[in-house]
Structure 1
Amino acid sequence: MIDVSRILRLASAVALLGLATAVPASAGRDDAHEDPAVVAERLQHMGFVEWRNIRWSHGYWQVDNAKRANGHVYDLEIESGSFDLVRLRRERG
């Protein structure tokens, strides 16, 4: 005969294992899109020296008046998950 408590322990262990692997995978996503410091670090890595505004909008980071060392100014859109540059529009003036 199969022991019922043994089946329950096995089912509980499987459920906990599934929960333990699912939580860390989703934990960083919200933090990344809520932290403009990560975007600022990425902007510096891309060669920008200053910017006016960083804001989250519809799944992308939008950066206004990002300035490079050569003086050129751009408006940018950066993808939230990979922080890849999606749109680069040079400001005139």
Structure 2
Amino acid sequence: MTYVSRAVRHALALAVVGTAMTAPALADRRAPADDPAVVTERLNRMGFIEWRKLRYSHGYWKIEDARRDNGHTYDLKLEAGTLDIVRLSRDRD
């Protein structure tokens, strides 16, 4: 069996306790791509000026009736992690 000094055992124990205590504080933080404000900014960069519904569901953002400057409306589905377009369908006007 390998001998581990008392100081090393205490240091490891403190590291484990410190990690365990900070994990709950970080648990409620969202990744930036899970923040509706980040999704809104991304939609604006893609040329959308307004939308009727924005919701998160099963790892994707679903946007209904997103309208561009030209008046066309679309339904979109964005991947939550990267905010890449997974589905884009134009609504009939």
TM bin, normalised by shorter chain, reads: 0.7 to 0.9
Describe the shift of the 1:2–1:65 C-alpha distance in structure 2 as closer, same or farther (beyond 3 A).
closer
Counterpart of 1:10 in structure 2 is 11
- Cα distance in 1 between the residues matched to 2:17 and 2:29: 17
In the alignment, structure 1 segments of 5+ residues that lack a partner are: none
Structure with a larger share of its residues in helix: 1
In the alignment, structure 2 segments of 5+ residues that lack a partner are: none
Please give the TM-score of this superposition, normalised by the length of structure 1.
0.73
Percent identity, please: 44
Describe the shift of the 1:9–1:50 C-alpha distance in structure 2 as closer, same or farther (beyond 3 A).
same
Q: Does 1:74 align with 2:74?
A: yes
Tell me if the contact between 2:51 and 2:66 (Cα under 8 Å) persists in the aligned partners: yes
Please give the TM-score of this superposition, normalised by the length of structure 2.
0.73
- Cα distance in 2 between the residues matched to 1:86 and 1:62: 10
Describe the shift of the 1:56–1:89 C-alpha distance in structure 2 as closer, same or farther (beyond 3 A).
same
Counterpart of 2:54 in structure 1 is 54
1:13-36 deviations in Å (ceiling 9; x for gaps)? 55368x39xx57x9443x642x32
